[in-house]
Chains A and B, each alone.
Chain A
Amino acid sequence: MDKHEAKRSLTDIMARFTSYAGKRLPTDVLGRLAALRQGEESKLSRVVFDSMFENLAAADNLDRPCCQDTGVIQYFVKAGAGFPLLGELREVLTEAVRRATREAPLRHNAVETFVEKNTGDNTGLRVPWIDWEIVPGDAVEIEVYMAGGGCSLPGAAKVLMPSAGYEGVVQFVFDVVTSYGVNACPPLLVGVGVSTSVETAARLSKLALFRPIGSRNPDPRAAEMEKLLEDGLNEVGIGPQGLSGNCSVMGVHIENSARHPSTIGVGVSTGCWAHRRGSIRIAPDCASYEILSHKEAVL
């Protein structure tokens, strides 16, 4: 395959995968939602969970986006340094978004700032948003993520003084989730970043949302804190759609980095129950791929 053809093939795969991820939830999310549904006893929680699963079935059958708010499309790229189309990837992903917008169809959600005009094709300045990490190897792994306005709104980051300690982190997470979580379509996936400054903590809190549900931070203390926050938030009992119930969250994931001795940066990102995340690994031939997030997916 020459470069031109490789580019076309890669664009095609990413356009179809982007559409796909807007219509069907990943396997781990479906599994956790099914488990939480089992744990609910109240009439209202059941009514909401029934609607959620009916909706997913209807979206699948009718081949439509499962929620009308398909967000601003974001890609988190782990690129092998030897991946042949590294330099073309932004152009490829931008075209993939245009195509997915027409074909899925996705809602037009990119408004140019200051001009305050909707571009109508989900692309714009720095959009789709692409986050890069360069790793050894020659394949590329791409996460596509669609978060609606509702679940983007609670996002917050703050720099604490060390005297606030990890206790301050706990307080911050609870404040964000209990104050703004209700309108973000719970049960939520909560990503927490623990780092030095606002942007490092915020970025890590977003990356935390891409970890498979049920996975734990490799540090035993961080893993313990994930569990404590998860159980604690569920005990508050926000319930599906904030109508109260036995769950509040699908999980809490913490991602961390070393920090400056004088600061603790903390960031919180929330994903709604319709957590549309897709993960795909594409080989250097730009034609063969493996979908990691959705079991038995067919594009």
Chain B
Amino acid sequence: MKKVLSTPIKDEDIAAIRVGDVVYLDGYLVTCRDVGHRRLIELGRELPVDLAGLAIFHAGPIVAKDGDGWKMISIGPTTSMRMERFEEEFIERTGVKLIVGKGGMGPRTAAACRKHKALHAVFPGGCAVLAATEVEEIERVEWQDLGMPEALWVSRVKAFGPLIISIDTEGNNLFETNKAVFNAKKGPIIDRICQQVRFIK
């Protein structure tokens, strides 16, 4: 059975979700990446979308004009770590409950997820057509002056996923744990290979 979250997401909906779980999203997903974060946090501008209980997507899509509206052609995650500098305050200020991107995020975001009850999840990178087919409709677009990749695209999505939870509401951080495992494994493997490549004698 697919675990589906619906917006507006309440604290109790996500309290039992843990890193490594796979969930899907019904409802509103808003793209927000580098400049969107910078405008709110550094430049002190109001976000034109109320994100309380909603989900954001670190992504820059390809969209096409479709009559009066827009059609999602291709939308894939970008590296979430670029938003690490802003995300802690972003979560606090907006009340966003689900952050979707690629790769992990750092300790400040993990702390904010714990304090304000939010999740970070990974959508598989490079799967942009799959993601586009899970967008039902682009309802509106804000901050279009930022250009297609950076504008805030407010999309209604259905069974959007898979979303792999990388930070949960207790602040557990899947990628930090993995990184420690990779680093511990790496040393002995390198030593072993080095024994076999002493070609300069």
B6: interface (CB < 8 Å): no
**Would you mind naming 12 contact pairs between A and B with Cβ atoms under 8 Å apart?**
A55-B128, A59-B129, A64-B73, A65-B74, A68-B61, A68-B75, A118-B147, A166-B200, A174-B190, A229-B193, A235-B189, A244-B178
Q: Indicate if the CB atoms of A107 and B185 lie closer than 8 Å.
A: no
**Which A residues are in CB contact (< 8 Å) with B64?**
105
Q: Mark B166-179, 1 if CB is under 8 A from A, else 0.
A: 00000000110011
Q: Indicate if the CB atoms of B126 and A66 lie closer than 8 Å.
A: yes
Q: Indicate if the CB atoms of B126 and A185 lie closer than 8 Å.
A: yes
Q: Indicate if the CB atoms of A150 and B164 lie closer than 8 Å.
A: no
Residues of B within 8 A of A (CB): 20, 22, 59-62, 64, 73-76, 78-79, 81, 102-104, 122, 124-130, 132-133, 147, 149, 162, 164, 174-175, 178-179, 181-183, 185-186, 189-190, 192-194, 196-200
Chain B interface, DSSP helix/strand/loop, else mixed: mixed
| A118 CA / B147 CA spacing, docked (Å) | 10
A138: interface (CB < 8 Å): no
Q: Indicate if the CB atoms of B182 and A236 lie closer than 8 Å.
A: yes
Q: Indicate if the CB atoms of B175 and A47 lie closer than 8 Å.
A: no
Q: Indicate if the CB atoms of B127 and A55 lie closer than 8 Å.
A: yes
| A232 CA / B81 CA spacing, docked (Å) | 27
Q: Indicate if the CB atoms of A232 and B189 lie closer than 8 Å.
A: yes
**Which B residues are in CB contact (< 8 Å) with A162?**
200
Q: Would you give the shortest CB distance from B17 to chain A, in whole angstroms?
A: 15
Interface centre among A44, A235, A242 (most CB of B within 10 A): A242
Q: Indicate if the CB atoms of A241 and B102 lie closer than 8 Å.
A: yes
Q: Which of A237-265 contact B (CB under 8 A)?
A: 237-238, 240-244
Q: Mark A107-128, 1 if CB is under 8 A from B, else 0.
A: 1000000000010000000000
| A148 CA / B59 CA spacing, docked (Å) | 13
| A62 CA / B62 CA spacing, docked (Å) | 14
**Which A residues are in CB contact (< 8 Å) with B102?**
150, 183, 185, 241
**Which B residues are in CB contact (< 8 Å) with A273?**
126
The 8 Å CB contact of A235, one of B78, B103, B130, B185, is B185
Q: Would you give the shortest CB distance from A297 to chain B, in whole angstroms?
A: 19
**Which B residues are in CB contact (< 8 Å) with A47?**
22, 124, 162, 164
Q: Name 15 extra pairs, CB < 8 A, besides A67-B126, A243-B164.
A: A44-B22, A51-B162, A64-B129, A69-B76, A107-B62, A165-B198, A171-B190, A182-B103, A183-B103, A185-B102, A221-B197, A232-B193, A237-B181, A242-B104, A272-B126
| A241 CA / B76 CA spacing, docked (Å) | 13
A81: interface (CB < 8 Å): no
A274: interface (CB < 8 Å): yes
A9: interface (CB < 8 Å): no
Q: Would you give the shortest CB distance from A219 to chain B, in whole angstroms?
A: 10
In the complex formed, the residue of A with least CB distance to B122 is A241
